[in-house]
Structure 1
Amino acid sequence: MTIQTSGGLPPDAARRAKASNLYRAVWRWHFYAGLIILPFMITLAVTGGIYLFKDEVDRIVHADFMRVEPGGAMLQPSALIAAALAAQPGTAVKYTDPARDDQSTEITVQSDEGAKAVFVNQYTGEVLEVRADRSTFAWTVRYLHSFRYFGPNPRKIIEIVGGFSILMVLTGVYLWWPRGQKGGVVTLRGTPARRTYWRDVHAVSGIILGAFIVFLSITGMPWSGVWGGKVNQWANSGNFGYPAGLRVDVPMSHDHLDHIAKTSWSMEQAQIPETAPPIPDMPSIGIDIAVQIFDEMGLHRGYSVALPNGPTGVFSGSVYPDDLTQQRVVHLDQYTADALIDMSYADYGPLGRWLEFGINTHMGQTFGLLNQIVLLLVCIGIVVLMVSAAVMWWKRRPSGKLGVPPMPSDRKVFIGLFIILGIGGVIFPLTGITLAVMIAFDMLWQRISPAA
């Protein structure tokens, strides 16, 4: 006698049907996620691969004003600022120490036309270039990579793409799982003319790159519009990361560090201390002495000095080199030269340290050239992964149709999948909203497609 399940199928057939239904459900949502993020993933991979070598590329592309011939003593910072203001009238707001002897000095000037970057030869005082602030090739690539180039709202795409890429990896691993299959697990079958070949290229490259994609997605989230902003506020709540002893009795302004100088992501919302109201006629120490003090304190080369923005402002020196241990922020009283706050990477809270490590590694800086090369190969692999997905879909889709994977015969398998998707949507809100829209659209399409 044959034992049958409640659905009228023998146990083995029921198990196979259940597995087939689950596979179809996962495949369907893997397809949808890929359809949404494919062009963005290619854009992120290409721009990210270029930005890994930002310093090297900038020195080549902008050699005419970024490179100088070392010779003789460097001029005082005040003289360089004066030369910059003569070429570009306005208010000097930041002085950036050259990271190398053959690199020019950058002075940031706030003018009527907006912020300007003025590049000055520190040996001769010659102004080499005046251009919009953060308009170099590397900055342009960075803004394209984060979608900030197109304004604040498109940056939210980062969160959607990041959340969906994690979903892609998780569902992709399930689809890749061998299940007794011998070919196409870690090898390629057939020739480029066949869909099987591109399926294997996609599956094998995906399983190799999966962990890297998840890492890059999570560490790229700090730049997203909603998730990144909320985590940033949380990480900086109560000046998170500042050593408490240095904060005691130090007046704080309402301004934040990122408003006046480039800073690490976890410190963007850190408040700036205020100089105590000065004694009448008490002079400021000036930029020359401030830079001398920063040099004596051992700030890593390439540090920036944000100039005081008023009588109670401070000289804020900050530097974020590839070596995380050399990250440092120092705020000097502009009258007494006292260090109101002196903070390094070791002083960050645990969340700040982990965030900075992830971001630094994401940008290819933590492990030097090896970090750059590995992530460059990952970026190339992501392009291959996306292209193989597009080719595979094109070869599989029916003529004149989108080629959405078939619906499972038992819709109950979607329940567990939707719960997992919902959890991910709560963690990444914009991804969750997009998922909800997709689910509604898919349900609507199922209703109208038979009639169509």
Structure 2
Amino acid sequence: MTRAFSQPSAAPPAKPASGDLYRAVWRWHFYAGLLVLPFLILLAVTGALYLFRDEIDTAVHADLKRVPYESGAVLASPSALVAAALANTPGTAVKYTTPAQPDLSAEVTIKTAAGDKRAVYVDPYRAQVLGTLPDRGTVMWTVRHLHSLRLFGPVTRGLIEITGGWTILLIMTGIYLWWPRGQGGGVVSLRGTPKARVFWRDLHAVTGLTIGAILLFLAVTGLPWSGVWGAKVNEWANGNNFGYPAGVRVAVPMSDEHLNHLGHTTWSLDQAKVPQSSASPTQTTAIGLDNAVAIFDGLGLYPGYAVALPTTPTGVYSGSVYPDDLSRQRVVHLDQYSGKPLIDMSYADYGPLGKTLEFGINVHMGQQFGLANQLILLVVCAGIVVLAVSAGVMWWKRRPRGSLGVPPLPADKRVLRGLVGLLVLGGLAFPLTGLSLLVMLGLDWLITRRPRRRLA
């Protein structure tokens, strides 16, 4: 009788060590920080300033925005204010903005013969010009353009998407690196003194833990302004009915002009087109600005609304206002001949996605919950700067002399491949971030292939 012997089964592949996973995550956390921390400092500083835009603008430009007010004072007619502005700055009046408060000036936007636009500030009681600035030339408009990177040209708008996507990666990998692994310190407390690297490591980790969730929220709610992802989501959410949300059904002639060309608007209406006026045999004369403002007042538009003036026979009077209170946001287009509202919409008319994103944007800008909203985000902006500075100091104390100090590769390359696979999936969701990921993968490959210097 023969005896059968069983062959030993092949040993299962060894599982990647936890240290290898830590190294892989640390390596890409380093790359994410290297890419976005300079931009995050810019966004944090400009964002902190923009939280208090009304207060800062009114203080810096008090000579243009503040006016003496006495109880019972009567406002001059809008047409008289526009006439005063045109006498000071010849051209074509394209927008009139009503005073937001009794002690604030009115604003008339004029397109000059040279083609540029000037904002003329007028005392609304005495019809006296207080001064002029380039359109959107206040300090806070400059800060806003810095924050959105528009000041550096249209191409840089894509950096918002790249920064947002890599910030999400930075937060996710940061949580893994922070996660307690039996250590007592550096989780919610600081160890050592500023002379020691461990102090900066702990400061970085604890600050990230404190503000990480809100920073993630800011990154996500900042993405709607991005050039590729944001534009496509906007088109998908509000692409019907000439760019208006699904809650607004229009059956009027539409022009090729977009609302965002007439002035500042919300994200949901960024692609919305403007309707056309239609003259009739009995109505060939425009109602005029004074009557248009009276209609807007009668419809209950919130004080401080802007009126885009018709400059062509088919143009309309477009009244729009976007105060901190979302429920008071409103856009109304009037036929310039009959004064009939052609489109009248508010936040309540936005679709579910539009409402959600607009709410997030409102919180992002520090508007939704008053002063508490502003102060919390101010602390977060300060925390972002602390994160960036502590990361820089920590890297400087750790890096070998003459080297970039990239964290080492994991011994088991399967860990790195798995992590990169997850990053690629994120890149598919955010195309520009994915493109930048390919660039970073190429650079990482070059770094790993670079021959090391031999010690003499």
Instruction: Give deviations 1:241-281, integer Å, cap 9, x for gaps.
Output: 54667413x11111111111211111011111111234377
Q: For 1:41-440, what aligned pairs fall within 5 Å after superposition? A: 41-71=40-70, 72-111=73-112, 112-239=114-241, 241-242=244-245, 246-248=249-251, 250-279=252-281, 282-440=284-442
Name the CA distance, whole Å, in 1 between partners of 2:280 and 2:60. Answer: 45
The Cα of 1:5 is off from its aligned counterpart by 9.6
- 1:191–1:451 Cα change, 3 Å: closer
- 1:428–1:244 Cα change, 3 Å: closer
Q: Equivalent pairs: percent with the same residue?
A: 58
Structure 1: give runs of 5+ residues left out of the alignment: 9-13
Name the CA distance, whole Å, in 2 between partners of 1:404 and 1:395. Answer: 13
Contact residue 366 and residue 373 of structure 2 kept, 8 A: yes
Q: SS where residue 380 of structure 1 aligns? A: helix
Corresponding residue for residue 4 of structure 2: none
Q: SS where residue 100 of structure 2 aligns? A: coil
Q: SS where residue 307 of structure 2 aligns? A: strand
Instruction: Give deviations 1:313-371, integer Å, cap 9, x for gaps.
Output: 11110110000000011111111111111111001111111111111111000111110
Name the CA distance, whole Å, in 2 between partners of 1:53 and 1:389. Answer: 28
The Cα of 1:384 is off from its aligned counterpart by 0.6
Q: SS where residue 423 of structure 2 aligns? A: helix
Letter of the structure 1 residue corresponding to residue 19 of structure 2 = S
Name the CA distance, whole Å, in 2 between partners of 1:388 and 1:281. Answer: 68
Contact residue 247 and residue 350 of structure 2 kept, 8 A: no
Corresponding residue for residue 3 of structure 2: none
The Cα of 1:450 is off from its aligned counterpart by 3.4
Q: SS where residue 412 of structure 1 aligns? A: helix
Name the CA distance, whole Å, in 2 between partners of 1:256 and 1:245. Answer: 16
Contact residue 245 and residue 354 of structure 2 kept, 8 A: no
Q: SS where residue 282 of structure 1 aligns? A: coil
Contact residue 205 and residue 385 of structure 1 kept, 8 A: yes
Corresponding residue for residue 6 of structure 2: none
Contact residue 256 and residue 274 of structure 2 kept, 8 A: yes
Instruction: Give deviations 1:424-448, integer Å, cap 9, x for gaps.
Output: 1111111111110110111122112
- For the aligned residues, what is the CA RMSD? 1.9
Q: SS where residue 109 of structure 2 aligns? A: strand
Name the CA distance, whole Å, in 2 between partners of 1:35 and 1:69. Answer: 51
The Cα of 1:113 is off from its aligned counterpart by 4.2
The Cα of 1:232 is off from its aligned counterpart by 2.1
The Cα of 1:234 is off from its aligned counterpart by 2.1
Q: SS where residue 26 of structure 1 aligns? A: helix
- 2:29 aligned with 1:30: yes
Corresponding residue for residue 11 of structure 1: none
Name the CA distance, whole Å, in 1 between partners of 2:346 and 2:283. Answer: 34
Instruction: Give deviations 1:88-146, integer Å, cap 9, x for gaps.
Output: 11111111111111111111111124111111111111111122100100100000111
Contact residue 277 and residue 316 of structure 2 kept, 8 A: yes
Letter of the structure 2 residue corresponding to residue 126 of structure 1 = Q
- 1:5–1:109 Cα change, 3 Å: farther
Q: TM-score, normalised by structure 2?
A: 0.94
Q: How many residues of Structure 1 are paired with residues of Structure 2 in the alignment?
A: 443
Name the CA distance, whole Å, in 2 between partners of 1:177 and 1:188. Answer: 15
Name the CA distance, whole Å, in 1 between partners of 2:150 and 2:81. Answer: 31
The Cα of 1:235 is off from its aligned counterpart by 2.4
Contact residue 242 and residue 343 of structure 1 kept, 8 A: no
